[in-house]
């Protein structure tokens, strides 16, 4: 059975930067995203870097259970085993607490919490117990600290953190490794889509953050990093 690394939100930003490093390391990748055109462009870029790796794409909204099931079916039908799962898809939101609506809660939780849980569950179900699987849940430093105008966003990320820690406890002693990643602000389109108009010129480059993550994940087989916080120097 062929092994692969699955990356949600892999068509741009941090997800694509992670995919590039994995391909350069000889890993085959499956990148998931909502936009087919962005996925096609990302696949072209990755394929130019791949000498021994195989690059696949799937349109998948990880917050949609049907989409996630189709991803699982794709992997099973093609006899592919997930070696690494990078839960990277997410959505930001900057809003006063008084602006909270059920629609905003649903949209943010769908991307940041429900999607992470659904995709993780599906990959765990279809991965043979004798195969080692490393799950990398990329969250945010907002999962560690409460922030003004991020009440809904922080709630979703704290939920993801709780799920990650509980899942790690439940899977202790198995061939399932759970790594929690808490990166700070990066120079991506994330802030444009979250409603924030802050200056991000001093923020981290996604390529630098990806390097830290992939280096830790693909490190020596005798050691396992469990929690990674990545912040820019003051």
3-state helix, strand, coil in the chain (%, to 5): 45, 20, 35
Query: What is the pLDDT confidence band of residue 194, given thresholds at 50, 70 and 90?
Result: very low
What's the structural domain count of the chain?
Answer: 1
Beta-strand relationship, 227-230 and 55-59: unpaired
Q: Is the pLDDT of residue 55 over 80?
A: yes
Q: Is the pLDDT of residue 229 over 90?
A: yes
CATH code, domain with 42: 3.40.50.720
Euclidean distance between CA atoms 27 and 220, whole angstroms: 16
Query: What is the pLDDT confidence band of residue 59, given thresholds at 50, 70 and 90?
Result: very high
Euclidean distance between CA atoms 150 and 58, whole angstroms: 31
Q: Which of 33-42, 153-162, 191-200, 221-230 has the lowest mean pLDDT?
A: 191-200
Euclidean distance between CA atoms 148 and 140, whole angstroms: 15
Segment 3-9 shows an average pLDDT of 97
pTM: 0.90
The pLDDT assigned to 115 comes to 96
Q: Pick 168 or 187 by higher pLDDT.
A: 168
The pLDDT assigned to 221 comes to 67
Residue 81, Cβ neighbours under 10 Å: how many? Answer: 17
Segment 206-225 shows an average pLDDT of 87
CB-based contact 231:145 (threshold 8 Å) = no
Q: Is the pLDDT of residue 182 over 90?
A: yes
> Structure tokens of 36?
């087919």
- Count of residues for the chain? 234
Beta-strand relationship, 80-87 and 55-59: unpaired
Range of the domain at 46: 2-230
The pLDDT assigned to 159 comes to 97
Euclidean distance between CA atoms 111 and 92, whole angstroms: 9
Euclidean distance between CA atoms 87 and 213, whole angstroms: 12
Cα radius of gyration rounded to whole Å, the chain: 17
């Amino acid at each position: 059975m062929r092994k692969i690394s699955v990356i949600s939100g892999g068509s741009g930003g941090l997800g694509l930067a992670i995919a590039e490093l994995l391909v350069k390391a000889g890993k085959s990748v499956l990148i998931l995203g909502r936009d087919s055109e962005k996925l096609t462009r990302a696949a072209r870029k990755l394929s130019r870097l791949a000498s021994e790796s195989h690059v696949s794409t799937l349109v998948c909204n990880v917050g949609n259970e049907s989409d996630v099931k189709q991803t699982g079916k794709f992997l099973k039908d093609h006899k592919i085993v997930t070696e690494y799962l990078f839960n990277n898809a997410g959505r930001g939101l900057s809003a006063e607490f008084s602006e909270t609506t059920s629609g905003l809660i649903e949209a943010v939780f769908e991307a940041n919490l429900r999607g992470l849980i659904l995709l993780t569950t599906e990959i765990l179900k279809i991965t043979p117990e004798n195969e080692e699987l490393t799950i990398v849940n990329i969250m945010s430093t907002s999962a560690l600290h409460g922030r003004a105008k991020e009440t809904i966003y922080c709630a979703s990320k704290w939920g993801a953190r709780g799920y990650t820690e509980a899942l790690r406890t439940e899977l202790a002693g198995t061939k399932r490794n759970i790594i929690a990643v808490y990166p700070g602000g990066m120079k991506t389109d994330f802030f444009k889509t979250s409603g924030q108009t802050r200056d991000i010129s001093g923020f981290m480059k996604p390529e630098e953050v990806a390097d830290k993550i992939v280096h830790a994940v693909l490190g020596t087989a005798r050691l396992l990093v469990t929690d990674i916080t990545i912040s820019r120097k003051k």
